[in-house]
Amino acid sequence: MRELLLLRHAKSAWGDPGLADFDRPLANRGKKAAPMVGRLLAERGWVPDLAIVSPAKRTRQTWEYVAGELAAIPPVRFAEELYEATAETILSVVRRAPAKTGRLLVVAHNPGLEDLAALLAGPGNDPDALARMREKFPTGALARFAFEGDWPELSAGGAILAGFLTPKELAGRVGGPSS
């Protein structure tokens, strides 16, 4: 069984109107939420074998805060094609994961990430998680999928949504502020 973790970057700052979208950093709220994801991954034993991250500043910072909570930091690859990517593009990146990767974390952006999560969810999903994910995939949210087979075989409806957590929910589970 392989696992795919889809993490939308944490809340970003909009304070500098002259800053390019690619260069927007995390807001204070994002800086508080991202470490909670890392703690959750560590506590649950969901540490990825590989992280593939969009090179935008807010996704890189999200990964740095997540990785800072892990005992052993997994390898990371920054993939240019994840910035402003469609669900299909993100899926193509996932399908190219090394065969030895059992658990993969992708840190990217909406709407592509949310669209991919909806696309992958097949029979046997956690119904509560699916309903909450379809309602809203906020910044800092984590969707956890499981599937049988190899990465190149992952397709629409081919995974089970095993869980979906938002920063507010994480604050109640692993401690920390939710604001």
- pLDDT per position as a tens digit, 105-120: 999 999 999 999 999 9
Largest CA distance in the chain: 46
Distance CA 49, CA 46 (A): 9
- Strand 50-53 and strand 103-108: the pairing is parallel
Residue 171 in this model has a pLDDT that exceeds 90: no
pLDDT band at 173 (very low <50, low <70, confident <90, very high): low
Q: What angle do CA 65, 15, 174 make, to 5 degrees?
A: 30
103 within 8 A of 5, measured Cβ to Cβ? yes
- pLDDT per position as a tens digit, 133-162: 999 999 999 999 999 999 999 999 999 999
pLDDT of 177: 41
Classify domain 2-11+22-160 by CATH architecture. 3-Layer(aba) Sandwich (3.40)
What is the DSSP annotation of 45-104? Answer: T---SEEEE--SHHHHHHHHHHHTTSSSPPPEEE-GGGTT--HHHHHHHHHTS-TT-SEE
- pLDDT per position as a tens digit, 11-25: 999 888 889 999 999
Residue 1 in this model has a pLDDT that exceeds 90: yes
Residue 179 in this model has a pLDDT that exceeds 70: no
pLDDT band at 175 (very low <50, low <70, confident <90, very high): very low
Domain residue ranges in the chain: 2-11+22-160
Residue 174 in this model has a pLDDT that exceeds 70: no
pLDDT of 146: 97
- pLDDT per position as a tens digit, 71-102: 999 999 999 999 999 999 999 999 999 999 99
In terms of pLDDT, which residue wins out, 9 or 177? 9
